[in-house]
Amino acid sequence: MTQATDYIAQVAADLAKRDPNQPEFQEAVSNFLGTITPVFEKHPEYIKANVLGRLTEPERAISFQVPWQDDEGNLRINRGFRVQFNSAIGPYKGGLRFHPSVNLSIIKFLGFEQIFKNSLTGLPIGGGKGGSDFTSKGKSDAEIMRFCQSFMIELQRHIGLDIDVPAGDIGVGGREIGYLYGMYKRLRGAERGILTGKGLSFGGSLARTEATGYGLLYYTQAMLKENDKDITGKRIVISGAGNVAIYATEKAEQMGAKVLTVSDSNGYVYDENGIDVAVLKDVKEVRRARLTEYAKAVPSAQYHEGSVWDADLKYDIALPCATQNEINGDQAAKFKAAGVFAIAEGANMPSNPEAIASYKANGILYGPAKAANAGGVAVSALEMGQDSRRMADSFDTVDGQLKEIMENLFANSVAAAKEYGVAGDYLAGSNIAGFVKVADAMTAQGW
């Protein structure tokens, strides 16, 4: 045992004791700690500064009541969160998730991941996350607006242009951001840069809607290229049918690949001809309908209940774009036989620890979430820049910057893995590259 391994084991033990009832947070930290020893062997000064102790406790975690009135006049109560995790390299930045499963553990895992993801983008943004156990599903627009207004009445006390800048995540898209921004403006004025993912007519950036999905494909293509492969002609399985999945599908098809599936929490559609992204957008973005409607609209598509990761398909690349822990060890163990040689994560922490171990054991190229899905937050930071310049960049300018950011962050992860003796391990490389910048900023600023 070295001083570094002792220290990391102690941090893990402390956390297990402190937050025993936060499984998703424990999982995210454990995935991270499992790769970070080489950095502490090289930089014992980080031990003295207890960088990991500071990084595993949010700088601030806010929990609040969100009262709102439904269309029948009943007063409903939801729980709201904003976790401001680390501000060493810039204002807290990260999405808001509205989903019934949201709790402090989930928001903390997302906020923890966001620290290193944001660092990897090369842009000056710290890590945070928030949300609520509210869902827009089945609610009227008026109910969603009243909920968002009430959420912002509290949230506005905690955010600011140089303090904390939220955006969307699961269940929070352009509609919710519009209502949130409208309330912020009434309370505090038209500070456009206070939220990202805004509508194009009030400070939003072109290509932000596409950014996470497109970025995932730019990352995947860079990972394939590094291994003398190419995406053209490949068969891809995508999970999810939301913002990330839709634009991952669009970019994969533009790159000449065939996307066989998209999914939601009930089931998946499979189309041997490739998913028709125009129909998908109409069903999900315009009609806000379920995927069963996609299957009705496209004769060659079949709808199946259950997880797409249990489907018996032959394909090359897996792009999970739905939610955390959607792929377990048993499902991952079938990848090799299915022909899968690469996986890149559009969702946050979609692979459980057994699945990650299985990719490694089977030599499957693995692009971890905090690198592969960093395109969304990267373009959010570009949106903040456009808002402060009071200018709007063209789609091609933003898309070009996004591509460059994704290629650079992949190259930096490769270089970090090599430098720290774990060449080819993109999970370790991403964790290390993201971490070192934050740790340097923290130690330079004292405590």
Kindly list the residues in this chain that would bind ligand NDP in the complex (CB under 6 A): 168-171, 173, 212, 240-245, 264-266, 321-323, 346-348, 373, 376
**Binding partner of residue 94 among ligand NDP, ligand 2IT, none, CB under 5 to 8 Å per kind?**
ligand 2IT
Per CB under 6 A, does 95 bind ligand 2IT? yes
Element (H, E) at 389: helix 375-389
Active site residues: 129
Other CB atoms within 10 Å distance of the CB of residue 1: 6
**Binding partner of residue 323 among ligand NDP, ligand 2IT, none, CB under 5 to 8 Å per kind?**
ligand NDP
In the complex, minimum distance from the CB of residue 369 to ligand NDP, in angstroms, rounded to a whole number: 7
In the complex, minimum distance from the CB of residue 363 to ligand NDP, in angstroms, rounded to a whole number: 26
- Of 248, 206, 246, 258, whose CA–CA distance to 400 is shortest? 206
Q: Which two tokens stand for residue 27?
A: 């999982």
**Binding partner of residue 322 among ligand 2IT, ligand NDP, none, CB under 5 to 8 Å per kind?**
ligand NDP
- Of 373, 353, 381, 426, whose CA–CA distance to 117 is shortest? 373
Please select the residue that binds ligand 2IT; options are 94, 111, 127, 204, rule is CB under 6 A: 94
Whether residue 211 contacts residue 381, with contact meaning beta carbons closer than 8 Å, is answered with no
In the complex, minimum distance from the CB of residue 213 to ligand NDP, in angstroms, rounded to a whole number: 8
Whether residue 65 contacts residue 80, with contact meaning beta carbons closer than 8 Å, is answered with yes
Name the one range near ligand 2IT by CB under 6 A: 276-284, 296-304, 307-315, 376-384. 376-384
Q: Which two tokens stand for residue 116?
A: 């290193």
Name the one range near ligand 2IT by CB under 6 A: 92-100, 139-147, 186-194, 222-230. 92-100
The Cα 8–Cα 124 span in angstroms is 27
In the complex, minimum distance from the CB of residue 197 to ligand 2IT, in angstroms, rounded to a whole number: 6
In the complex, minimum distance from the CB of residue 443 to ligand NDP, in angstroms, rounded to a whole number: 28
Per CB under 6 A, does 203 bind ligand 2IT? no
Q: Of the two residues 8 and 176, which places its CB atom closer to ligand NDP in the complex?
A: 176
Please select the residue that binds ligand 2IT; options are 24, 143, 169, 176, rule is CB under 6 A: 169
Whether residue 196 contacts residue 206, with contact meaning beta carbons closer than 8 Å, is answered with no
Q: Which two tokens stand for residue 321?
A: 């774009």
- Of 205, 192, 209, whose CA–CA distance to 245 is shortest? 209
**Binding partner of residue 170 among ligand 2IT, ligand NDP, none, CB under 5 to 8 Å per kind?**
ligand NDP
Task: Compute CA distances 306 → 237, 264, 294, 315, 395, whole Å.
Answer: 15, 9, 16, 19, 37
The Cα 259–Cα 257 span in angstroms is 7
Name the one range near ligand 2IT by CB under 6 A: 58-66, 177-185, 270-278, 373-381. 373-381
Q: Name the 3-class secondary structure at 222.
A: helix
**Binding partner of residue 91 among ligand NDP, ligand 2IT, none, CB under 5 to 8 Å per kind?**
none
Q: Of the two residues 345 and 425, which places its CB atom closer to ligand 2IT in the complex?
A: 345
Please select the residue that binds ligand 2IT; options are 4, 102, 144, 167, rule is CB under 6 A: 167
Q: Of the two residues 156 and 292, which places its CB atom closer to ligand 2IT in the complex?
A: 156
Sole residue written with tokens 């960093």: 374
| Contact code string over 121-160 relative to ligand 2IT, x by CB under 6 A | ----------------------------------------
Task: Compute CA distances 319 → 213, 245, 257, whole Å.
Answer: 10, 8, 12
- Of 311, 310, 306, whose CA–CA distance to 330 is shortest? 310
Q: Of the two residues 95 and 429, which places its CB atom closer to ligand 2IT in the complex?
A: 95
Per CB under 6 A, does 207 bind ligand 2IT? no
Please select the residue that binds ligand 2IT; options are 82, 93, 192, 235, rule is CB under 6 A: 93
Per CB under 6 A, does 263 bind ligand 2IT? no
**Binding partner of residue 204 among ligand NDP, ligand 2IT, none, CB under 5 to 8 Å per kind?**
none
The Cα 202–Cα 392 span in angstroms is 10
Task: Compute CA distances 222 → 194, 293, 408, 410, 413, whole Å.
Answer: 32, 35, 9, 7, 12
105 contact partners, CB below 8 Å, separation of at least 6: 19, 21, 22, 23, 24, 25, 26
In the complex, minimum distance from the CB of residue 373 to ligand 2IT, in angstroms, rounded to a whole number: 6
Residues near ligand 2IT (CB under 6 A): 93-95, 117, 167, 169, 196, 348, 376-377, 380
